[in-house]
Amino acid sequence: MQLPAGYGPFVEGWMRPPSPLVALLPPHLGRPDEAAFRRQFEQIGAEAATDRRLYTPNAEWGFAVRLPAWVAGEQDMEIHVSAQICGAEMEDILQTSQMTAAEIGQAREALWAVTLCAEYSEAPLQDYHAHLKALVATVPDVVAVVDVMACAPRGGAWARAAAASRVPPDPASLFTIHAISPDEGTPGGVWMHSHGLVRCGCIELEMLNVPAEHTYPLGELFNAVAAMFVEQGPPPAEEAFEIGQRISLVWLPWEAALKQVPDSISGGLPDRDEAHSGPSGVLFVPSRWPWGRRHRPITSILKRLTADPVLYMSSMETERMALLAAELFDRFAALHARLGQSDNWVFLVKIGYRMDGGEEDNREHLWFAVHSIDGDTIDATLTNEPHGIARMREGQRGRHSLLRMSDWAILCEHGQFGPGSVGELEAILEEEA
């Protein structure tokens, strides 16, 4: 398929726009001092860099540094630092925040901000982690972090926890999914699209005409595809790829995709402003026939997605999740001891068991509802039917070792929380108390 102009560098993975993280400062600090910030970077071992480009308009001052190995890891990484007055655009971003009310209030009072801008390598998740480490090391009392590329504000507590962890945050931290409903009286469904993937050397992703009641299962599929594209790069346009058991998809440039959907839906040409007209792939289900030229809408696999689907996850991501789940399990256990018997609170642990006839590392990861925790074992009930383990059945209760744990989750009236977001839940509970 002939790609529109501008797609090649992102599909091939060598174009990575700069990624700014904006640290909102507590209002009592006043105007940030350049000399003080230079000393902060010197204290963490950063060296001055020759590149003096400033990515932040209206900056009061700016300089560039090269991060030390303990922050940047194996990749060489430069950070461009600048200070500016908080603008009115911050208010628009805070409207989409999932921070607590107290954090949003503090962010709105911020008068000054310091921007740390970096270009990511072929390991964007590790670079994002290093970026956060540098920010927290030099702005330890940050009120909130605005991820400009992802249009996502994060609380200072989340940033400090992510920076302190040995494990990078969830790949979903690299992007945000916006869900835009059509205007009242306009036919069609929700337009789901990402912001933030282009900094990873990837195209953005979209789903068109999504029924509002099915944004959750399709959002899970969206996340799985985005993580795969970040790690492996996007496959060629219109080439089918497998993202789960019996689940294949294709992507089309949005310019071509709009020819296969009704003109009036959300995400059509009238919605393609400057922020939504860059390289972006719309997800479809492949045509049933090799010679078919019209692909099926993403909604054609909804039945499969709502029937306990198996979505693929790379070994690298599985290992990352397992490490993070183990690192933060004490906080899961503490919340379970406090709230495990409360109504409408569900504590889940995911454990990987070897599939029948498979190799040791060929595991199926199953969710268990936890009744009690005893050291490195749990008493729990299997909540989903295994696909490849005949000896196990949904509803079985028994003891399970945590040595094979790959994830955990807490479901409650405040939402769903995992290792990467447990700090948000703890902040909510503290605020309630």
Residue range(s) occupied by CATH 2.30.30 in the chain: 316-432
Say what the pLDDT of residue 281 is.
Answer: 97
Residue 426 has pLDDT above 60, yes or no: yes
C-alpha closest to that of 347 among 333, 364, 359: 333
Give the list of residues 6+ apart from residue 49 with CB closer than 8 angstroms, or none: 64, 65, 66, 78
Q: What is the pLDDT of residue 291?
A: 57
Dihedral angle computed from the Cα positions of residues 389, 393, 398 and 404, in that order, rounded to the nearest 10 degrees:
30
Strand order in the sheet with 363-374: 397-401, 377-382, 363-374, 346-354, 405-412, 415-417
Residue 154: other Cβ atoms inside 10 A:
24
Q: State the Cα–Cα distance between residues 322 and 301, nearest whole angstrom.
A: 29
Domain 316-432 has CATH 2.30.30: yes
pLDDT at 84: 92
SS3 19: strand
pLDDT at residue 292 in the model? 55
Note whether 303 and 223 are within 8 A (CB): no
* C-alpha dist (Å) from residue 338 to 186, 345, 350, 426: 47, 11, 21, 12
The residue written with tokens 């655009």 in the block is 89
Tokens 């962890």 -> residue? 165
Phi, psi (deg, nearest 5) at residue 411 = -110, 130
For residues 108-115, average pLDDT: 92
Mean pLDDT across the stretch 84-89?
Answer: 81
Nearest of 334, 324, 339 to residue 411 by alpha carbon = 339
Q: Is the dihedral of CA 189, 91, 26, 83 positive or negative?
A: positive
With H, G, I as helix, E, B as strand and everything else as coil, classify residue 59.
coil
Would you state the structure tokens that stand for residue 83, as one six-digit string?
């200070």
Q: What is the pLDDT of residue 128?
A: 95
pLDDT of residue 284: 96
Q: Angle at the Cα of 27 (from 21 to 33), degrees rounded to 5?
A: 70
Q: Looking at residues 371-381, what average pLDDT do you find? A: 96
Distance CA 71, CA 131 (A): 8
pLDDT at position 247: 92
Whether residue 406 contacts residue 316, with contact meaning beta carbons closer than 8 Å, is answered with no
